[in-house]
Amino acid sequence: MRDETIRDDLKASPRFQLEHQRRDFLGMAAMWSAASAIFVALLGAMRLPIPSVFPESNSRVKLGSVDLFQGVAVTPFVEQRLWVFSDDQGLYAISAICTHLGCLVARQEDGEFDCPCHGSRFDSQGKVTKGPAPKPLLRLALSVSPDGQLVVDRQQTVGPEVRLKV
């Protein structure tokens, strides 16, 4: 008890405060610098797990001559995980990757899409009709390369009304 009173007295004296303030300033500065250095280092390290570019296959893939996609038809591209549809208004591509949890949907005889993993179902236009999928199957952007090849960009999605006119 007595010690504490003395200490309080001491602390109260301006000279003590001044001395301690100076010492504190240095200490505080040192501590804060160390903390911020470590923080910045961690911040930098946080960037490490995500590379600037992912080691992945090209998102843009040529699917073959545009002439092949005429009339009303459905062409599956198993490796690219998509279907190319053509109708009177033009071409569009539907991704086979379920928007729920990334399984591959299967196209049924009636034109609808079934997901094997959690029972999502999509109609022939990719709209969700059943199950947990939060959004319709993705429509992928189609374009025609200068050499007349149909090109799909698997990273770029478009709206359901978009058609590629040939």
Partner 1 sequence: MDNSDEYRVGWLKWLLLVSSIGCLALLSLAAFQENFTASWRAHQVEYSKRLDQLARATETKTQRKSSANYPIKVRQVFLDEWKRVDRCVTCHVGIENPDFAEVPQPLTAHSGDILKHHPADKFGCTICHQGQGRATEKQAAHGHVPFWDKPLLVGDFVQATCAKCHHDEQVPQAPALSHGRQLIGQLGCAGCHKMGDIANRVKAGPQLDSIGSKVSRKWLDKWLTNPKDYLPQGKMPYYGLNPGAVDALASYLMTFRNGAIDHRPKPEGDYDTGANIYRESQCIVCHVTKLDYNDNPVGGQIGPNLLEIGNKVNSRWLVTFLKNPHSFYPNTKMPAFHFSDQEALDLSQYVMEEWIDYDLLDAEEQEPEPAQGTAEQIGQGKRLFAELGCGGCHDLGHKTVKPTGPDLTFIGSTPVHQLTFGDAKVPHTTPDFLYTKLKSPKSLHHKFKLPTEGDFAAAIWNNLSPAAQFSGSQALPDGSEQDRMAWVFVQAQRAGLLDASLKIADGVARSQAAWLVEELNKTAALNPLKMPNFQLLDEDAKALTIALMSLSDVSAPSKHFEAPRRPKMVFNPKDKFGKLERHYRCLSCHQIRDSGELLASDLTYEGSRVDREWLEHYLDKPYSMRRMLTIAMPIFHFPKEESRLMADYISYVFVDSEMGKGWRLGRAQADPERGKTLFESKGCLACHQLHGTGGDVGPSLTTQVPEFPHGTWVGDKLKGEWIYQWLKDPQALLPDTIEPNLSLSDQESLDLTAYLLSLKNPEYQQLDPAHEEPEAGEVPEEHGEPES
Partner 2 sequence: MGTESSKMARQVESDRQDASPGALRLLWCNLLVTPRSFRDSLIRHGRPTSERAASQAVFTNFFLHILPTRIHRDSLRIRTTLGLGVISLVLFFLLSLTGVALMIYYKPSTDLAYDSMKEIQYVVPTGRFMRNIHRWAAHGMVLCVILHMARAFYTAAYKSPRQFNWVVGMILFVLTLALSFTGYLLPWDQLAYWAVTIGSEIAQSPREITDALGITAWFDIGAYQKQLLLGANHVGQEALIRFYVLHVIVLPFVMCVFLAIHFWRIRKDGGLTRPAGAEACSESEKFRNGPPALAPAKTYGLMAVVRGRTPAVDRSMANTMATYPNALYAIGALCMVTFFVMLCLGHSFNAPLTEHANPLVPENPAKAPWYFLGLQELVSYSAFMGGVGIPGIVVVGLMLVPYLDREQEEVGVWFGGSRGRRVSLASALFAIVVVVGILTFTINYGWLRDWYPNIPQIVITFVNPGTVMLVVFSLWSFFITQKTNSTRMGALAIFTCFLLAFAILTYFATVHRGPNWGFYWSKSDWPVH
d(CA 98, CA 111): 16
Least separation, in Å, of the C-beta of 85 and partner 2? 20
- What distances in angstroms separate CA 17 from CA 1, 3, 23, 158, one per listed residue? 22, 18, 10, 67
Question: Considering only CA atoms, which of 164, 3, 11 is closest in space to residue 85?
Answer: 164
Q: Is 111 among the residues that bind partner 2 (CB under 8 A)?
A: no
d(CA 80, CA 94): 11
Q: Is 118 among the residues that bind partner 2 (CB under 8 A)?
A: yes
Q: Is 131 among the residues that bind partner 2 (CB under 8 A)?
A: yes
Q: Is 142 among the residues that bind partner 2 (CB under 8 A)?
A: no
d(CA 37, CA 52): 24
Q: Which is nearer to partner 2, 66 or 141 (CB)?
A: 141
Which residues of this protein are in contact with partner 1, per CB under 8 A? 67-68, 70-71, 73, 75-76, 78, 110
Question: Which of partner 1, partner 2, none does residue 49 bind (CB under 5 to 8 Å by kind)?
Answer: partner 2
Site string for partner 2, 48-67 (x = CB under 8 A): -xxx--xxx-----------
Tell me if residue 63 falls in helix, strand or coil.
strand
